[in-house]
Structure 1
Amino acid sequence: MENKKEMTIPNVSAATDTEQSLSKCTDNSIVNQNMDFKGYEQTFEEMQREILRQLDPSYLKTVSMTTLYDTVFEVQTPLIDGLLQRGTYLFVGSPKVGKSFMMAQLAYHISTGTQLWEYKVRKATVLYFALEDDYQRLQKRLFQMFGAKETGNLYFATECKTVNGGLEEQIRGFMREHPDTGLIIIDTLKRVREAGGADYSYASDYDVVARLKALADSYKVSMLIVHHTRKQKSEDIFDMISGTNGLMGAADGAFVLSKDKRISNNATLDVAGRDQQDMKIHLVRDSERLVWNFAKSETEMWKEPPEPLLEKIADTLFSESDRWEGTASELCERLAVDIKPNVLSLRLSINASRLFRDYGIRYQNSRTHDGRKVSLWKETEQTA
């Protein structure tokens, strides 16, 4: 079940909330019916005014702080806890450092749902554009890395169209056939962008990643775009990403895989992002299987501070039932907490993802004929 954003038209929470036909209304007076008609007329007029506003060339779409606070956004769980969030990320490294082997490892673990190093993984279908490989090389690489344990949720393409030449339509076609897709890997960026000479401008760099990000965001999936580093060294390893700052500016974050010596099996993976804690992970490559093994992390996995309210909801409301509905005021009384109802609703809106992730409880805040209603229900987390 998906959470829905607050709409202009009141949400219908159950079949009993819908209006019945006049022939079935046995206890409604003519006065009440007229009031209902007036309400519908007012709603229809508001819809007409909103449509006319949007047709006005000077229309600017805005959201008030009040509406923002009232909105319960859809739960977005990471594909890999503490490592890979939903969004679009650059995956960067020098040539032959082992980027494609890392991509195959990430793709395999997500497509099978098996834990990667010390991080929990959520199972999802993976689309891997291995544009610098052929199927025979992929076959040998995957068998060397994972043996005979194959998966039907990992799909490969060794050729595709460019960003401006139809790649979006190809990805949308795949998503229609595989709606459970959680990760798209493009290996490499150069293979899907238009030829524009050796040097690209900030605008063109930003545009190509922004278009791919818009596509990933529309499906709420993770996208990894493989790219390479420049030869010049820098104190900030993310400044070594080849191209302009437009690439990093348009992406949600970046991973940089690097070695001190090319012949070494030791490497570091630096991670930075908007929704991701900065990390440095030390890895060791298995020289036989060619997989990357975890050695240590300089940054411990970030954990959110405790939120006693969520635990109290789980213990108080769901010890004997799988659903609770009522007003925010009633919820305050039920939980016996000294919190204003509007503050309680806001805290639940902000923590809706965490409430579902940690306790399997969905939260919705909707308007009904009787006012604002809080709905909480138990639901098993999906693997994708």
Structure 2
Amino acid sequence: MDGDTGKIGDLPIEPNLILETSPGNGQPFWLFDRPLKPAEAKPLAEALKRATGSDNGTADVTHVWRVPGTLNWPNRKKLERGRSPDPVCVTVAQAWAGELTSVEALTDALASWSTTHAEPAPIAMGDLPDVASLKVSQKAARLLAANDVGDRSAHAASVAEQLAFDGHTAEAALALFLSATGDWLARYTTEERAKADFARCWTKHGAKHGEQRAAWSAMAGRVANKPTPKPANDNRPSTAIDAQTLLSMDFPPVAYVVPGAIAEGLTILGGRPKLGKSWLALAVAIAVASGGPVLGQHCDQGDVLYMALEDNRRRLQDRLRTLLPSVKQLRPDLSRLELDTEAPKIDGGLIDRLEAWRLAAANPRMVIIDTLAMVRPAKKKTQDSYEADYAALSPLQKWAGEHRLAVMVVTHVRKMEASDPLEMISGTNGLTGAADSILVLNRDADGPKLYGRGRDIEEMEKALLFDNGRWSVLGDAVEVKRSAERRQVLAALEDALGSMSPADIAKVIGKPKANLNVLLTKMVKDGEIVKVSYGLYAHPGKTGNTD
């Protein structure tokens, strides 16, 4: 029963259950006190369709109806009516209280609709208004201006029905009908014939909408099943909230899957090809599914879906055996880690796939998609690169946020270095803009590093070690680099025959002199080296040699 098309009439008897399939649209159910054979059910279904003015599915006794918790994806016709392209979760608007409807009671209630109604009497027409004073919807305007429509009578019926659905009176609709600029109107040989055809169309297809629109208002109240809050003013949208109310609200804390690195929401993991992104992604999946450690942090256990879309089962098995203990008895239980090597595109059913996994999992925590290129939808002709990148990830970000799950998408980085690690992610800023957090795995002269930044994680950069498929954290990248440089300075001073200047030390260890002066001052303060005179430094064990 679609309120956005006007296909809704009054209900002949109170339903036992109502589902809300999308905003303003519902499916009422009558649960019978006894089973019916198709031959007995068919006349009831057809009478119910006529009573409610609903669509053809009502009269189809084999029709498959919506299921609570599943997603309702709009088809092309619904999109053309202005429905959002985002799927809507089917919910229970009026729960079943355990009561059943008597078949006889419904039969009696539908008695007046048990046979097809005769055509209504022709409408009485008053004076026509000036079309300049009438507002026309975009859809009605397109119908009025259409050319080459084929069946003129069928098109005229569509025009009359749309004008009625838009709320026009018969007089206003006729005035607009006669003002049509499309060539279909010129196919009437006289204006009287056009008026006569309009009257036929309005009587058969249009007049019912006025009554049905009023009936839907009553139905919508039952479907909503809750009072509508009064807005502070007519201009405030339902999503707005005043700051004082927001301050008084309590929200659960952010859920971290890998503390300090991966939180609920959408995370992008970018890295160069063959650097070890997939090894890191699989290590994270194992840690979360088993409640084990990764990146120096312990993870709370939960269900994980890892989509290894560039691998096959044999390679996945090899990698699992590499990362897990060789002794089977020491391996963790990985029954909560689901692996898949195939997935639909993001705009071709991926969200449905993720939702099915979420509903089946006992404690869903994380989804890993490796890689983005395998699920990314094709760029539309009307999109620029930024719009295409942002639109590609938005459904994943929305789904993750709605269910407070972590979704990590693996992708590549540019070949060229960038001052800001986020700029290394391959693509436009639309990708990083759609994500909640970004992780960049990179390798430079100091070794591999993992940089992270996001809405719910603090900026961090860790120095890593990669050994036989396993990633481990050495510490904060700055501290690790400083420690390595200090060891280099101590080694240079220990090997020297005497004291050394900053320029001498920089030449030996291959570092810029400008970067070394600050480090030498800190090392003197910490007692690691000795400043023997102005601009000269020595190892603590060789302070006797000052030449």
- Tell me the TM-score normalized by structure 1: 0.60
Q: How far does the alpha carbon of each residue in 1:105-146 deviate from its partner, in whole angstroms, 9 at most, with x for none?
A: 011111111122432311111100100001111001110111
Closer, same or farther in 2 for the Cα pair 1:59/1:298, shift >3 Å? same
Helix, strand or coil at the partner of 2:296: coil
The CA distance in 1 between the partners of 2:461 and 2:317, in whole Å, is 31
> Which of the numbers 281, 284, 289 marks the counterpart of 2:462?
281
Q: How far does the alpha carbon of each residue in 1:217-268 deviate from its partner, in whole angstroms, 9 at most, with x for none?
A: 111011111010111221222111110001111111100001127xx9x411
2:297 matched residue in structure 1: 119
Helix, strand or coil at the partner of 1:89: strand
Q: Which one-letter code corresponds to 2:246 in the other structure?
A: L
Mapped pair 1:253 → 2:437: yes
1:100 matched residue in structure 2: 278
Helix, strand or coil at the partner of 1:282: strand
2:321 matched residue in structure 1: 143
The CA distance in 2 between the partners of 1:79 and 1:190, in whole Å, is 24
Question: Unaligned regions of 5+ residues in structure 1, if any?
Answer: 1-46, 301-384
Q: How far does the alpha carbon of each residue in 1:276-305 deviate from its partner, in whole angstroms, 9 at most, with x for none?
A: 111111111113xx11112121379xxxxx
The CA distance in 1 between the partners of 2:344 and 2:296, in whole Å, is 36
Question: Unaligned regions of 5+ residues in structure 2, if any?
Answer: 1-225, 480-547
Indicate if the aligned counterparts of 1:258 and 1:269 stay in contact, CA closer than 8 A.
yes
Identity over aligned pairs, percent: 30
Closer, same or farther in 2 for the Cα pair 1:189/1:206, shift >3 Å? same
> Which of the numbers 53, 56, 65 marks the counterpart of 2:243?
65
1:170 matched residue in structure 2: 353
Q: How far does the alpha carbon of each residue in 1:304-349 deviate from its partner, in whole angstroms, 9 at most, with x for none?
A: xxxxxxxxxxxxxxxxxxxxxxxxxxxxxxxxxxxxxxxxxxxxxx
Closer, same or farther in 2 for the Cα pair 1:294/1:216, shift >3 Å? same
Closer, same or farther in 2 for the Cα pair 1:200/1:122, shift >3 Å? farther
The CA distance in 1 between the partners of 2:369 and 2:275, in whole Å, is 17
> Which of the numbers 55, 77, 87 marks the counterpart of 2:255?
77
Q: CA RMSD in A?
A: 2.5
Q: Which one-letter code corresponds to 1:121 in the other structure?
A: C
1:357 matched residue in structure 2: none
Helix, strand or coil at the partner of 1:165: helix
Alignment of structure 1 residues 43-62 onto 2, 5 Å:
48-50=227-229, 59-62=237-240
Once the 2 structures are TM-superposed, how far is the Cα of residue 60 of structure 1 from its aligned partner? 4.3
**Structure with larger Rg:** 2
Q: Which one-letter code corresponds to 2:257 in the other structure?
A: L
- Tell me the TM-score normalized by structure 2: 0.43
> Which of the numbers 402, 405, 416 marks the counterpart of 1:218?
402
1:194 matched residue in structure 2: 377
Indicate if the aligned counterparts of 2:269 and 2:440 stay in contact, CA closer than 8 A.
yes
Moved more, 75-84 or 184-193: 75-84
Alignment of structure 1 residues 1-384 onto 2, 5 Å:
48-50=227-229, 59-147=237-325, 148=328, 149=331, 150-196=333-379, 201-260=385-444, 266-287=447-468, 290-298=469-477
Indicate if the aligned counterparts of 1:200 and 1:244 stay in contact, CA closer than 8 A.
no
Q: How far does the alpha carbon of each residue in 1:25-68 deviate from its partner, in whole angstroms, 9 at most, with x for none?
A: xxxxxxxxxxxxxxxxxxxxxx64538x69x9984431111211
Q: Which one-letter code corresponds to 1:96 in the other structure?
A: K
1:316 matched residue in structure 2: none
The CA distance in 2 between the partners of 1:188 and 1:284, in whole Å, is 23
Once the 2 structures are TM-superposed, how far is the Cα of residue 71 of structure 1 from its aligned partner? 0.8
Indicate if the aligned counterparts of 1:83 and 1:119 stay in contact, CA closer than 8 A.
no
Q: Which one-letter code corresponds to 1:110 in the other structure?
A: V
Once the 2 structures are TM-superposed, how far is the Cα of residue 90 of structure 1 from its aligned partner? 0.4
Indicate if the aligned counterparts of 2:255 and 2:404 stay in contact, CA closer than 8 A.
no
Q: How far does the alpha carbon of each residue in 1:54-90 deviate from its partner, in whole angstroms, 9 at most, with x for none?
A: 9x99844311112111111123331122222111110
Indicate if the aligned counterparts of 1:279 and 1:299 stay in contact, CA closer than 8 A.
no
Indicate if the aligned counterparts of 1:230 and 1:241 stay in contact, CA closer than 8 A.
yes
How many positions carry a matched residue from both structures? 247
Indicate if the aligned counterparts of 2:265 and 2:397 stay in contact, CA closer than 8 A.
yes
Helix, strand or coil at the partner of 1:272: strand
The CA distance in 2 between the partners of 1:81 and 1:60, in whole Å, is 35
Decide which structure has greater helix share.
2
1:33 matched residue in structure 2: none
Q: How far does the alpha carbon of each residue in 1:148-197 deviate from its partner, in whole angstroms, 9 at most, with x for none?
A: 31511111110011111011111101111004111100111111112339
Closer, same or farther in 2 for the Cα pair 1:143/1:49, shift >3 Å? closer
Q: Which one-letter code corresponds to 1:64 in the other structure?
A: D
Closer, same or farther in 2 for the Cα pair 1:118/1:48, shift >3 Å? closer
The CA distance in 1 between the partners of 2:451 and 2:306, in whole Å, is 22
Closer, same or farther in 2 for the Cα pair 1:189/1:159, shift >3 Å? same
The CA distance in 1 between the partners of 2:448 and 2:384, in whole Å, is 29
Q: Which one-letter code corresponds to 2:286 in the other structure?
A: Y
Helix, strand or coil at the partner of 2:311: coil
Indicate if the aligned counterparts of 2:293 and 2:299 stay in contact, CA closer than 8 A.
yes
Indicate if the aligned counterparts of 2:367 and 2:406 stay in contact, CA closer than 8 A.
yes
The CA distance in 1 between the partners of 2:474 and 2:377, in whole Å, is 39
1:5 matched residue in structure 2: none
The CA distance in 2 between the partners of 1:184 and 1:156, in whole Å, is 10
Indicate if the aligned counterparts of 1:111 and 1:126 stay in contact, CA closer than 8 A.
yes
The CA distance in 2 between the partners of 1:299 and 1:251, in whole Å, is 26
Indicate if the aligned counterparts of 2:307 and 2:369 stay in contact, CA closer than 8 A.
yes
Indicate if the aligned counterparts of 2:263 and 2:457 stay in contact, CA closer than 8 A.
yes
